[in-house]
């Protein structure tokens, strides 16, 4: 069945696609939204929402155990069935906002089926032929399960199945020490499981090494077993016991295996028929999020860039501005913050110290350790720091934060980068006392302290003192 052309056809009802569909419909565009799976996509059903709900439960369990140093003694009892219900209650509470009913109420035509391009301006979905003035591909990504011998027979978990568990495995092995692997390792260990992480390189390898080391020490101190620099050669199973045989000869036994080695873009869309260029890493887009077919935009994980919900949402807003309002837009990944929600959290925006020094040999990093912050001392959470990375000319290039609330703190520096705020402004603003935010101001103050520690400055000050 052929339909009257829509203004916009959106493929994928995850955070990126939903943002485009809702905004475009609000501004009077005729929109068709196509989703083959669950409304809300990965973030709501398998990613950010359930993982952070699980982490919240784990944080409460850990806080009960960790209070002894502050004079509070408690022994938590974890009911994992109740934790599972909490996780799914959170999903259920948000789901109506992403539902078919809500979007149909906005005037969006929702088709729950797979979509495939059959030409540069036409696709098929659910037995319908759909034409549109513009298309937005927001199909996201899926977890990678590596081709390790015997792994399939061990029924490995991914983020798409982990949150279905109603009972906690006594022993969990995690393949992959990136953000997902580290977050889940710490959270599940805090809830009572013995957890081993196997990482072929180093955990959180894309992050500032000093920051990753703070997280490493915290996880190890809590009892998470980290095996770095070894890969899984093969897996075997004997009844309910599963064994990872490592490249260095060691073996790890567990009741369950979680695979967290990365994600691949969902590209099974007939892109060749649409004239859309793509690689195995994702759909190729320009800085306006347009593909090689200028009728078609691609946003979110499917582009192979930064895989974060807030990035997908930002790209969706750019697509709406470009399509609906014909505004010039530019996506700048350097302004996008990221955060790993371990404890402490690790957040980054802009360049890391190593990246900055590679681009500018005169770049410097100014570090304020939490051990010098009064709030951190009061909370007995002094492991971490705020690091500001400045160019040789004193321009803010990036910020690294390792702290209990690093994801919130880094927002200040994301704004500073976007608004091109000077270090002088950062050094002169007044955060509330006592807060962890003071650490960032302290780092900027250290920079100016060194700038002013010059012979001519001291001479000038001595003169002013005399007169």
Q: Which residues are annotated as a binding site for NAD(+)?
A: 176-183, 199, 262
Decide the pairing of beta strands 225-228 and 194-199: parallel
Where do runs of H (alpha helix) occur along 136-177? 159-162
Which residues are CB-neighbours of 437 under 8 A, at least 6 positions away?
A: 409, 412, 431
Q: Which of 148, 218, 208, 138 is nearest to 176 (CA)?
A: 148
Would you list the DSSP string of 29-67? Answer: --EEEE-SS-TTHHHHHTSHHHHHHHHHHHHHHHHHHHG
Query: What phi, psi does 327 have (nearest 5°)?
Result: -85, 145
Length of the chain: 467
As given in the structure block, the two tokens for residue 18 are 């939903």
Cα–Cα distances (Å) from 342 to 66, 221, 244, 307, in that order, read 16, 13, 25, 17
259 C-beta neighbours (distance < 10 Å), count: 25
Where do runs of H (alpha helix) occur along 72-191? 80-94, 100-105, 159-162, 179-190
Which parts are annotated binding residues?
52, 139-141, 176-183, 199, 262, 301
309 C-beta neighbours (distance < 10 Å), count: 20
Q: Give 111's strand partners.
A: 34
CA dihedral over 354, 184, 158, 267, signed as positive or negative: negative
Three-class secondary structure assignment of 181-223: HHHHHHHHHHCCCEEEEEECCCCCCCCCHHHHHHHHHHHHHHC
Give SS3 for 157: strand
For tokens 């809702």, the residue is 22
As given in the structure block, the two tokens for residue 167 are 């009972």
Cα–Cα distances (Å) from 132 to 25, 117, 148, 207, in that order, read 14, 12, 43, 41
As given in the structure block, the two tokens for residue 188 are 């599940």
Query: What phi, psi does 203 have (nearest 5°)?
Result: -65, 145
Which parts are annotated binding residues for FAD?
52, 139-141, 301
| 414 vs 398: CA distance, rounded Å | 8
Give SS3 for 7: strand
């Amino acid at each position: 069945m052929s339909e009257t052309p829509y203004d916009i056809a959106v493929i994928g009802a995850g955070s990126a696609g939903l943002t485009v569909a809702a905004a475009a419909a609000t501004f009077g565009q005729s929109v068709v939204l196509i989703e083959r799976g669950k409304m809300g996509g990965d973030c709501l059903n398998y990613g950010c929402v359930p993982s952070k709900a699980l982490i919240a439960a784990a944080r409460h369990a850990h806080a009960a155990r960790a209070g002894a140093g502050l004079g509070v003694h408690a022994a938590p009892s974890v009911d994992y069935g109740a934790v599972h219900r909490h996780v799914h209650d959170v999903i259920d509470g948000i789901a109506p906002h992403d539902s078919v009913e809500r979007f149909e109420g906005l005037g969006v035509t929702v088709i729950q089926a797979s979509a495939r391009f059959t030409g540069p301006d036409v696709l098929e979905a659910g037995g319908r032929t759909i034409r549109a003035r513009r298309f937005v591909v927001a199909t996201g990504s899926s977890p990678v399960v590596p081709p390790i011998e015997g792994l399939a027979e061990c029924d490995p978990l991914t983020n798409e199945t982990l949150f279905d568990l109603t009972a906690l495995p006594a022993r969990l092995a995690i393949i992959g020490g990136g953000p997902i692997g580290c977050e889940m390792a710490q959270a599940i260990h805090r809830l009572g499981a013995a957890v081993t992480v196997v990482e072929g390189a180093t955990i959180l390898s894309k992050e500032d090494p000093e920051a990753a080391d703070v997280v490493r020490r915290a996880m190890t101190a809590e009892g998470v077993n980290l095996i770095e620099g070894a890969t899984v050669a093969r897996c075997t199973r004997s009844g309910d016991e599963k064994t990872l045989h490592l490249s260095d000869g060691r073996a790890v036994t567990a009741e369950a295996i979680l695979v967290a080695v990365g994600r691949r873009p969902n590209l099974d869309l007939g892109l060749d028929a649409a004239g859309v260029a793509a690689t195995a890493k994702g759909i190729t887009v320009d800085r306006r999020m347009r593909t090689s077919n200028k009728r078609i935009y691609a946003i979110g994980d499917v582009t192979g860039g930064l895989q974060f919900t807030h990035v997908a949402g930002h790209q969706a807003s750019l697509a709406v501005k470009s399509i609906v309002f014909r505004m010039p837009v530019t996506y700048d990944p350097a302004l996008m913050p990221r955060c790993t929600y371990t404890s402490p959290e690790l957040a980054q925006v802009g360049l890391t110290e190593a990246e900055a020094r590679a681009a500018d040999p005169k770049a410097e990093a100014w570090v304020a350790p939490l051990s010098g912050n009064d709030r951190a001392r009061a909370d007995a959470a002094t492991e971490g720091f705020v690091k500001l990375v400045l160019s040789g000319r004193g321009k803010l290039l990036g910020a690294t934060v390792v702290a209990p609330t690093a994801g919130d703190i880094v927002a200040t520096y994301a704004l500073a980068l976007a608004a091109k705020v000077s270090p002088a402004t950062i050094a002169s603003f007044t955060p509330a006392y006592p807060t962890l935010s003071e650490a960032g101001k302290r780092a900027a103050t250290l920079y100016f302290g060194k700038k002013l520690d010059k012979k001519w400055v001291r001479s000038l000050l001595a003169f002013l003192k005399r007169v």
